[in-house]
Amino acid sequence: MKRFLQWVGSLLCALLVVAAYAQNPQLFDTGAASTPDAQAVPAAAATSTSAIQMIDFNRNLVPAELDDDYRTTYEIFVSSFCDSDGDGTGDLNGIRSKLDYISELGFDQIWLTPVHPSATYHKYDVDDYCAIDPSFGTMGDYEALLADCHGRGIRVLLDLVLNHTSDTHPWFVAASDYLRTLPADKDPVFEECPYVWYYTFSREQYDGFVPLEGTSWYYEARFWSEMPDLNLGNDVVRNEVRDIVRFWLDKGVDGFRLDAVTSYVTEDTAANAEFLRYLADTCRSIDPDCYLVGEAWTDQSSISALYGSGIDSLFEFPFAGPDGVISQVMSGRAPASDYVRAMMGAEAAYAGANPAYVGAPFYTNHDTARSASYYPQDGGPVTKMAYALSLLMPGDSFVYYGEELGMEGSGKDENKRAPMYWSSDAGAEGMCSGPAGIDGPQHKFASLEDQRSDDLSLWRWFAEVIRVRRAFPAIARGKTEMVEGLSDADVAAFFRRSASDGDVLVVMNLRDHAAERDLSQAAGGFELSAVLGTSEERITYENGRLSLPAYSIAVLTQNQSFID
């Protein structure tokens, strides 16, 4: 009987060991711990309740305490984000109520689309550069938002639209009224109405010019007849610009997102760079820490030329949108290695024009289709990986609100600016009505309230990718170097080299099947320090061999100083 009881006890112990292995196999992974180039899973995994490897593995990663321009930025289309007063329009106090949410995801900077008075829902036709649109709140609300953001370590960028004003701006109204009273045979006189020189008027209708009603004059309006172009070569206008930026910098704004910088002077890159140089010098003379990022919807060559102005950042348009580098790679139209080559090419081109530049990667914004629409058959993994490619590029990374939920929206502009999907209940607190004329939307992924409880949700993925991005400073601040022997059609592998922050090796499997790579030659001594996975399958690193499930990412470093 005694021997039988001993046998039963041994059997029970064996069963307990099997159960423990099934729950936490990494505790028994002696191979990984026995080799110098492998990293055992952090001890926090032993007490985890999640079946998702990245939740446990990355648990103890903490953001580096660095106060510079290499941020992770959340773009907010104000009228569609969060409504605090029940009128259906997003507002400044709504944003204030969601700052904990923004911080929780890991963002440390926000860019607000224009907040100035305007008759349109998008506000890119400004009536008053030094005021707040009443539908968004008051100047006091804006000041309170700034204070709340700064209290959380979040910087705030103001969207500054200088290419044009609205046609109801007092400057344009004064100029138009004057020209309507001017005799046909008389030229305008500056002393009688200097505002005529704020814009570009002509008695001939050139390309991009539209008629001024009630006169024989025409004015330049490249985007829309109700958006007359400013004459930014005029010193009087530049003085107005100086006063505008001083007003907002004195309020505590941390910098500006500059709208349409390639259109300041039509088809004249050199003139646009000259104005950007003036603007950068002016802003820094007021606040040396002022950060500027410009919208340059153009090719790499033109972006490089604009960097010669000394501007801090220009958006990485060649990587973005449905036809950019990221989408081409993730849809299989280009090999994974092209992603790395494109990063290296951009870094070399931009650093050659401005060695102090800070990249500004993004994947979508308020003018592009939502990323979930790029991959109609995708259930989540491709959409997740595509945004990770953007977030793991160097520089100040930008994310459009709602992308962390996989919101839908394409076609006309209104559809791209749908209400933030806080809840599937359109009447829930904070929900906005969205722009008039919006179609739908019909979202294929769940709302925030449903995604929060899912460890494999898009929302969780964004939080984990940003956690990794911020924990390893070299990811945002280092220089990209391809690992030729590891990168191919399926896998993108690169070092992010940084003399001050240490080197990081990132290996990405961008396809729907597993991949294995031998890192012993390229990365001897590197340890597995973070993992990002889109499924319950595990990344393993043993004896120098890295195994990556479909759509997964491994981050390796030479030490563990990033883990608390």
Annotated catalytic residues are 259, 295
Query: Phi and psi (nearest 5°) for 181?
Result: -95, -5
Contact 358, 69 (CB under 8 A): yes
- For strands 545-548 and 540-542, give the pairing: antiparallel
Q: How many C-beta atoms surround the C-beta of residue 287 within 10 A?
A: 17
Nearest-CA neighbor of 383 among 495, 464, 459, 466?
459
Helices assigned H by DSSP within 354-457: 381-391, 448-451
| Cα angle 235, 239, 240; round to 5 | 120
What amino acid is encoded at 541 in this protein? Answer: Y
313 CB contacts (<8 Å, ≥6 apart)? 69, 291, 292, 293, 294, 357, 358, 359, 360, 395, 396
Exposure of 56 in the CB half-sphere (CA atoms within 13 A):
22
Nearest-CA neighbor of 395 among 517, 312, 454?
312
Distance CA 74, CA 417 (A): 14
Q: How many C-beta atoms surround the C-beta of residue 8 within 10 A?
A: 10
Nearest-CA neighbor of 393 among 441, 429, 345, 437?
345
- For strands 155-160 and 109-112, give the pairing: parallel
Distance CA 319, CA 2 (A): 71
Contact 217, 201 (CB under 8 A): yes
Nearest-CA neighbor of 557 among 528, 522, 533?
528
Q: Which residues on adjacent β-strands are paired with residue 75?
A: 111, 400
Exposure of 308 in the CB half-sphere (CA atoms within 13 A):
13
- H/E element, 207: none
Exposure of 435 in the CB half-sphere (CA atoms within 13 A):
20
Q: What are the strands of the beta sheet with 209-211, ordered from one edge?
A: 201-202, 218-220, 209-211
Nearest-CA neighbor of 418 among 427, 406, 407?
407
Reported for 219-222, long-range contacts at CB under 8 A and 24+ positions apart, including other chains, are 220/266, 221/164, 221/167, 222/163, 222/164, 222/263, 222/266
Q: Which residue has the tokens 């907010």?
A: 76
